[in-house]
Amino acid sequence: MHVVITGANRGIGKALAEGYAARGDDVRATSRDGSTGLALDVAEPAAFAGLAQALDGKPVDLLICNAGIYADKGQSLADGYPAQMWADTFAVNVTGVFLTIQALLPNLQMAEGAKIAIISSQMASDEKAPGGSYIYRASKAAALNLGRNLAVDLKDLGIAVGIYHPGWVRTDMGGGAADIGVDEARDGLMTRFDALSVASTGEFLTWDGRVHPF
């Protein structure tokens, strides 16, 4: 299986890349600095031509849109959340997801039973709204909505789309007090991705297989 993972230089993305490689899959992992072997800054629209060129003619069985940022952690409602932070976050967490899928759509169409996994968050859910982190929450909600609509449009092409909450994971983003380790999140997500199909396209699941409220 040919797997492409964005934002794979650390955290969950790195763990997923290592997990699929250990399983014997062909993994192409991206990072902004190219340290993973394939350079891609998902916030730079011009970069996607290079991604398409690097993978030209190669079927992609599983595309994992993992690249994301959480820039507004700890921001104050009174004087925080600057406009540029909104723009930068949406460029990565939303536009970057869409442009990655758009750039690799020909590759996905070459594969039989291709899948797209979008890493969102429980913070995208309307039912989990404790306040704060407005930019991150809004961007992940947009990514969830994007995935749900792509699932409709890509179903007739035989491409399945799933959206996932990876858990509160002990990473640079999640922090040391998080609930689960990276390996546990990775193993759960890989199981979810294996089960994804056109029959279940549009699903929003947790890393351990529970249906997440929208």
Residue 187: CATH number of its domain? 3.40.50.720
Q: Say if 63 falls within a structural domain.
A: yes
pTM of the model: 0.94
Q: Strand 38-39 to strand 26-31: parallel, antiparallel, or no bridges (unpaired)?
A: parallel
Q: Say if 80 falls within a structural domain.
A: yes
Residue 127's pLDDT is what?
73
Q: Say if 211 falls within a structural domain.
A: no
Q: Which of 189, 155, 145 is nearest to 13 (CA)?
A: 189
Neighbouring residues of 210: CB distance < 8 A, sequence distance ≥ 6: none
Interval 136-154: pLDDT, tens: 999 999 999 999 999 999 9
DSSP type of residue 46:
G
For residues 81 and 75, is the Cβ–Cβ distance under 8 A? yes
Q: Say if 93 falls within a structural domain.
A: yes
Q: Say if 214 falls within a structural domain.
A: no
pLDDT over 60 (residue 173): no
Instruction: Write down the mean pLDDT value for the chain.
Output: 93
**CA-angle at 107, arms to 117 and 187, nearest 5°:** 30
**Number of structural domains in the chain:** 1
What radius of gyration, in Å, describes the C-alpha atoms of the chain? 16
Query: Domain range spanning residue 28?
Result: 2-206
What is the Cα–Cα distance from 149 to 147, expressed in whole angstroms?
5
Q: Strand 38-39 to strand 2-5: parallel, antiparallel, or no bridges (unpaired)?
A: unpaired
In single-letter form, the type of residue at position 151 comes to: A
